Amino acid sequence: MVKIDTIELGDFPLLLAPMEDVSDPPFRALCKEQGADVVYTEFISSEGLIRDAAKSVMKLDIYEKERPVGIQIFGANLESMLRSVEIVEASKPDIIDINFGCPVKKVVSKGAGAGILKDIDLMVSLTKAMVEHTSLPITVKTRLGWDEETIKIVEVAERLQDVGCKAIAIHGRTRKQMYKGAADWAPIAAVKNNPRMHIPVFGNGDVNTPERAKEMRDSFGLDGAMIGRASIGNPWFFREVQHYLKTGKKLLNPTMSERIEAARRHLQMAIDWKGEKLGVFETRRHYTNYFKGIPHFKEYRMKMVTSDDSIDVFNVIDEVALKFKDYQFD
């Protein structure tokens, strides 16, 4: 049984990765329904939170049906991070996660996200201070290192554990790699195999098929898989992986009716949460994957991703449901 502090998560939990403009409440709800064991919010700026920035505060919204749910924050200033912890606590998440892995320039340039991989002492001291500032479990998401010459993830993970971190998720690339090349899970396995490690070690990066998730479990011995890009527009990925891990057999692809229902629900939940304009805009990235593989679909996809009015998008979804109702996904 894998546990984050006292939270029991099963034998090999699947975690929805925090993804900006993706891991919002509507998408988290869909992933949870399809088998995600833990879901995380989009990453939230500590500076935005303490300044009461509307976009940052909105990301604190969590719902009972999502639990266990983690709120992820990022920053490099101790005072700001501690004040953020107090603000986050008011939302009553199950977990507070620290982002020490985001490779995006605007985050890294402020010493936050993967930028902190240049200063491991600061990374450890920030984690220690946050652990001491809350009764909620603190977890960390990070990368192998800044570049190939600075991969010290075994030492880093051990130090984070020693100051009270309750779990660590590691993306198998360096900051320099961004998302290029293949994720290397061997250093993550080395963290897990360190006899001093007793907290869960989750793997992240290129978990894009059920077979890869099984490989992460069986060949690399990790405690669970954090799934990001493979789930965009495909919340059923969690269901497929869970089934494969249990039976060794592949599930059939989601049916057209399942995809139509998910697209409709996703859009409606997004509008209910964010309002018409943002809800329509931020759901667009999912449609390509919801309807991936359908021949001669470009006309409908273009309407979905260019329409600014939700009524128009719902009408296109209805058209798709009618025209392609008999389409069978391979």
Distance CA 56, CA 73 (A): 10
127 burial level (CB within 10 Å; 0-12, 13-18, 19+): buried
Ranges assigned E (strand) in 57-94: 69-74
**Hey, which residues does 140 pair with through a beta bridge?**
98, 168
Q: Does 102 participate in catalysis according to the annotation?
A: yes
Q: Which tokens belong to 181?
A: 């090349």
Closest among 180, 94, 109 to 143, alpha carbons compared: 180
Cβ–Cβ under 8 Å, residues 141 and 100: yes
**Which of 2, 4, 102, 230 is the catalytic position?**
102
State how far the alpha carbon of 313 is from the alpha carbons of 41, 120, 322, in Å.
Answer: 26, 47, 14
Omega prior to 103 cis, within 30 of 0: no
DSSP per-residue string spanning 115-179? GGGG-HHHHHHHHHHHHHH-SSPEEEEEES-SSGGG--HHHHHHHHHHTT---EEEESS-TTTTT
DSSP one-letter code for 17: P
Catalytically annotated residues? 102
